[in-house]
Structure 1
Amino acid sequence: MIEKITDSEIVLENDRVLLRPLKESDFENLLVFALHEADLWKYSLISPAGEEGMKNYISTTLQNKVAGIEYPFIVFDKATQQYAGSTRFYDIQPFNKTTQLGYTWYGKAFQRTGLNRNCKQLLFQFAFEKWGLERVELRADANNQPSINAMKAIGCTVEGILRSNMTIEAGGRRDSIILSILKTEWFGSVKQLLQQKIR
């Protein structure tokens, strides 16, 4: 059994990025994206687009945090001194020592800047070295090639595709690609790979 983290105040940071627990008041910090960059969530199962969408998005994940199944973060870019987006651990399974990492999004100005790699390095390091997990899973819409490429680039292994497994908020269904990193892989090569990429 791993440590329960949902009651903890987890702050992760390096020279580039600060990840801190998402709060209700962060609505103000993230609203600009919901109002002006709604296409960020083209492939998302839950879209925080619009004022009500962002309120519901934050409220739902904070309820799930209380329930012990999610831990959401807000992302602060130290290079620009701006809030950049959000990410979270979800489907937390203490007994199995596993979690999923996802619901990750960044404003357009923060994409392809190295911010995501810095975030992932901090999150994986926490998951495997502090939290004691054995496996971190990531998923994406099988059509979301930019996201898939980003996950492969940081060392994730493709496990397969779940066909027509989820309903999309905008209507229809999606195939989900499953990727993961194991604790042995993190210490074996992935940690070093990520450290090299964020230099």
Structure 2
Amino acid sequence: MAIVLEDKRVRLEPLTLKNYIHLIPIAKEEKLIQYSPSDIGTAESLRKYVQVALAQQAEEKSIPFIIYDKKNKAFAGCTRYMHINRKNKVLHIGATWIGKEFQGSGLNDHMKYLMLSHAFNEMGFEKIEFRVDERNMASRKAVEKLGCILEGILRQDVYLLDGHKRNTCCYGLLKQEWETLKK
């Protein structure tokens, strides 16, 4: 069953091999995902990125979305639920990237609110995690603004495209914390 999440500002709809082409110009932006191990800089690498996300979705390990900014009437990027662990009721929100023109516009707040609400209230998850490169202060502040708690740092955890092995900050948000924060 396809999930569509929407409010007055943003619509998150399933990412597909048909609609990802709207993201090609954004994916080419310089340093858009400098803290990520993924390669999306060409149309071909972006297509492979989407194929991997869809393969993970077929295995029920992720749910990828394309982001549409209703205010600007434009596709803005993508995000996903990932590392879905239904047994323990934990999932990650990640693989999020939005074009530079959309950053700092409030779009990310709307997206994350929709995703957190849906994961906790409709999907029945009890904890949401975020993984962020230790150096990515903008993303860390955004996750902290949501009320997430830094639970630890995985040292030299992931190789990036430039060969750097990043330290990964692990943030978590429990359902009961979300219930208090959203008020």
- Aligned letter for 1:27? Y
Give unpaired runs (5+ residues) of structure 2.
Answer: none
TM-score between both structures, scaled by the size of structure 1: 0.89
**Aligned partner of 1:13 among 6, 15, 26:** 6
Cα distance in 2, alignment partners of residues 185 and 34 from structure 1: 34
**Structure 1 unpaired stretches of 5+:** 1-7, 193-199
Deviations 1:48-99 (A, max 9, x none): 1111211111111011100110110000000011000000011000101010
Residue in 2 that maps onto 1:24: 17
2:38 maps to which of 21, 38, 46 = 46
The answer as to whether partners of 2:57 and 2:64 remain within 8 angstroms in 1 is yes
Q: Which runs of 4+ in 1 moved over 4 A?
A: none
Query: Comparing both structures, which one devotes a greater share of its residues to helix?
Result: 1
For residues 115-172 of structure 1, what are the alpha-carbon distances to aligned partners after superposition, in whole Å with 9 as ceiling and x for unaligned?
0000000000001000000100001100111110111111111111110111223213
Q: Greater CA deviation, 163-172 or 100-109?
A: 163-172
- For 2:85 and 2:146, locate their aligned partners in 1 and report how far apart those are by CA, in whole Å: 23
Once residues 93 and 154 of structure 1 are traced to their aligned partners in structure 2, the CA distance between those partners, rounded to angstroms, is 22
Report how many aligned residue pairs link the two structures.
Answer: 183
C-alpha distance in 2, partners of 1:58/1:96? 27
TM-score scaled to structure 2, two decimals?
Answer: 0.97
Map of 1:65 onto structure 2:
57
Aligned mates of 1:64, 1:155 — CA distance in 2: 28
The answer for the alignment partner of 1:183 in structure 2 is 175
